[in-house]
Amino acid sequence: MNKMTHPKASLLLSSAALALLIAGCASVPPPVEQMAVSKAAVDNASSAGGTELAPILLKSAMDKMDAANRAMDDKDYVIARQLAEQAQVDAQLASATARSAKAHTAAGALQEDNRVLRQELDRSAH
């Protein structure tokens, strides 16, 4: 084998691999469904009380959703999908945090009601 053919073959293979990589990236479909699911998760987190009870998580989800929308506009679908997925996770965490805070508040109210009832029972028993 000639020493000159090996580097040329390597260059040719590298060029072919690069062309396939570029073609592969260009054929990534827009993540329309993921964008819709993520937007719904952000909306759900907001209506679940995320604005008041998990503001940092909700803001993170909203910021990532905005960035995903910008990536979609730029036709950078890989980044758009990644950001939308991250926004969905942040939104789900914000929703869970809000539900947990509401449950904690409700449990505290029930404990207070029980305390008051015990006091009244103790007074009427004496």
**Residue ranges per structural domain of the chain:** 1-29, 31-98
The pLDDT tens digits for 49-66 are 999 999 999 999 999 999
Whether residue 82 is predicted with pLDDT greater than 90 in this model: the reply is: yes
For residue 27 the two structure tokens come to 């054929």
Give this prediction's pTM. 0.69
Average pLDDT value over all residues in the chain: 87
